[in-house]
Copies of this chain bind each other. A is one copy, B any other.
Amino acid sequence: MDKPATIKDIARTLNLSTSTVSRAMRNAPDVNIETKKAVMALSEELNYQPNKLALSLKQKQTHNIGVIVPNLDYVLATMVRGIDEVALEAGYTVMVCQSNESFGREIVNTRRLLDSLVDGFIVSVSSETKVFDHFKKIQEKKMPMVVFDRVTPFLKAPGVRLDNTDGGFQATEHLIEQGYKRIAILAGPKNLGISNHRLDGYLAALKKYKIKPDPDLIIHCDFNQQYAYLATQELLNMKKRPDAIFTISDRMAIGAMLAIKEKGLKMPHDIGLVGFNNEPVVSLLTPGISSVDQPAFELGKVAAKLFIETMHHDGDMSEVEEVLKPKLHIRESSLRIIPKNTRSK
């Protein structure tokens, strides 16, 4: 009564072989209806739970998915929820590991999960990561792996991502339409794809409106609030300071906002601000910060679907890339109701 019941216990007390019990469990056709009932009844009584380990060992699959994320902020936590949603539905359990944006931690985590614990990976790479050997090792083992959110050209794998270029474009075009002339961008680290794509969108919007990009207004800084704060201070101290800032994350937008308030400038009048991610926070601030919304939950679901597809599909899927569309949410920080007085300059 101490140890959990096994298939053998059932076989013994019923005077059957383990094979028969096993078949009865899986409702195989070639077993007598009576014995089937007996097995079911006894397994119910003994509260029998099949040992997943033994099963996994035998058929060489664990039905676990390793999910590697750089952190668990609002956006990623939402995506993970999306992954969880469809994974559970498909009979998979997810193992979430956060790398804390640390390269070393990312390696440790993948190795741990790689030790025959998972059937494959769904990853979003850390911003620190510049070399991808640990992920390539996954692929060498022929394990399915899909990347999401933060995809990179250095890693050939099926993936799902936001149309970050479009997001950058929407934000920038909106600022232009609101009459802002000198629009700065706080971009992230140069090796991060999402950062570069949003920057591309920014440049594309400028080009469309025939605005010459000013290198002084393009800042690459680390992906957090403090750096954004410092970078914004510098921007505002320029002799020809920008009259609008587009930050590629809401965290950075908040850092920028703090610097702007400190300087005594008013949004949206003196300066416009648009962020990215549309975290719930930004609607609560005064003024509310405009932000590019991404369908995080949906993106997570697509990632998991893609993973399951990859599992069942033997061919090469590394070219597959789903792209979801962002949508700008406009708030007070960038809304000069009607572009009036813009020519008073």
Contact = CB atoms under 8 A, between A and B. Distances in A.
Q: Indicate how many identical chains form the complex.
A: 2
Contacts of A112: 88, 93
Interface stretch (A18-26, A113-121, A166-174): A113-121
A143 to B, nearest CB: 10
A236 to B, nearest CB: 19
Contact of A72 (B53, B64, B72, B257): B72
Contacts of A88: 108, 112
A54 interface: yes
A62 interface: yes
A197 B108 CA distance: 40
Interface stretch (A95-103, A126-134, A146-154, A157-165): A95-103
A342 interface: no
Interface in A12-50: 49-50
Interface stretch (A203-211, A213-221, A279-287, A312-320): A279-287
Contact of A56 (B53, B64, B93, B98): B53
A106 to B, nearest CB: 13
A80 interface: yes
A72 B75 CA distance: 11
Contacts of A98: 80-81, 84
Given A141-B4, A281-B281, A117 B254 contact: no
Contacts of A142: 2
A108 B257 CA distance: 43
- Which of A54, A81, A115 has the largest number of chain B CB atoms within 10 A? A115
Contact of A80 (B50, B72, B84): B72
A266 interface: no
Nearest to A111: B49
A258 B80 CA distance: 29
A100 to B, nearest CB: 7
A191 interface: no
A57 B141 CA distance: 23
A49 B115 contact: yes
A107 interface: no
A190 interface: no
Contact of A51 (B2, B57, B71, B285): B57
A51 B116 contact: yes
A52 interface: yes
A269 B224 CA distance: 34
A16 B330 CA distance: 71
Contacts of A257: 284
A77 B84 contact: no
Contacts of A53: 53, 56-57, 62, 116-117
- Which of A52, A54, A112, A258 has the largest number of chain B CB atoms within 10 A? A52
Contact of A57 (B49, B57, B72, B96): B57
12 contacts: A53-B57, A53-B62, A53-B117, A54-B57, A64-B117, A72-B80, A77-B77, A93-B95, A95-B96, A96-B96, A281-B284, A284-B285
Closest 10 A-B residue pairs measured CB to CB?
A72-B77, A96-B96, A53-B57, A52-B115, A95-B95, A52-B116, A51-B116, A286-B286, A281-B281, A53-B56
